[in-house]
């Protein structure tokens, strides 16, 4: 039995013990607990998304900073194949950081 089931069962038991005149207060308290949990989960999800966006930004900026000297070195020493290899590596970094 999950915590949600136990809370619902406790609310139903309280309703039986206290009678129908207390039903609105019991229902309101139960709904308030559910709404609080939803708000907590939403806040946690927003925080995780913000962290992910920040990580993506850091990875992209880092890759761009490294790409300038790498492209220059690749162009001088290996020509077009080296430049293509650097570009492929940058694309892989972008894809991996967007999924992670």
Provide the number of structural domains found in the chain: 1
Q: Determine the 3-state secondary structure of 19 from DSSP.
A: coil
Sequence-separated (6 or more) residues with CB below 8 Å from residue 7: 30, 33
Residue by residue, pLDDT tens for the chain (100 residues) are 677 677 777 777 777 777 777 778 777 887 888 888 888 888 888 888 888 888 888 888 888 888 899 999 999 999 999 999 999 988 888 888 777 6
Range of the domain at 40: 3-99
Write the burial class of residue 66 (CB in 10 Å: 0-12 exposed, 13-18 middle, 19+ buried).
Answer: middle
- Give CA–CA dist 61/50, Å, rounded: 17
């Amino acid at each position: 039995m999950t915590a949600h089931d136990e809370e619902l069962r406790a609310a139903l038991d309280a309703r039986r013990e206290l009678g129908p005149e207390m039903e609105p207060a019991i229902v309101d308290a139960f709904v308030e607990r559910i709404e609080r949990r939803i708000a907590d989960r939403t806040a946690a999800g927003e925080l995780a998304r913000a962290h992910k966006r920040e990580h993506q930004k850091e990875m992209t900026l880092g890759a761009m900073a490294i790409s300038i000297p790498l492209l220059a070195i690749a162009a001088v020493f290996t020509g077009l194949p080296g430049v293509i290899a650097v570009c492929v590596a940058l694309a892989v970094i972008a894809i991996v950081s967007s999924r992670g």
